[in-house]
Structure 1
Amino acid sequence: MTRGLRVHTRVGDGSFIGTRAIIMPGVSIGKNCVVAPGSVVLTDITDSTYVRGNPADTFEPI
């Protein structure tokens, strides 16, 4: 629940979320993705992608 709104954050099967990574409310992460430790994910991530950074804007296919 964010600012009185209920939004769903979805993480696909086989995805790995690194320690201290922050995934904002309402973001969808596809199947078999890797979110690097300490990353801040603000947008949706497609399947089989490696993301890193703050904000997580480096998208690399796995």
Structure 2
Amino acid sequence: MIYKVYYQEKENEVPVREETKTLFVKADSVRAVRQFLKDRPMNIEYVQLLEGAYLEYEKNSEGFELQEIQ
């Protein structure tokens, strides 16, 4: 499954929409994604499962770079 992670680069600040970044992770669950990212200095806002047409749309977008959990 592929998840889209919305996050802020500064882990100790309140989320601001204009500063929200995204990354894409291939994992078995939301829990696995959060475990994979736990040591990174970021404030995770939301982890969203991508499926169907939305997944295809994101794959065709310019910023799509998939990270896989080893």
Which has the larger helix fraction? 2
* Shared fold, TM over 0.5: no
TM-score between the two structures when normalised by the length of structure 1: 0.21
- TM-score, structure 2 length as denominator? 0.20
Answer with 1 or 2: which has the greater Rg.
2
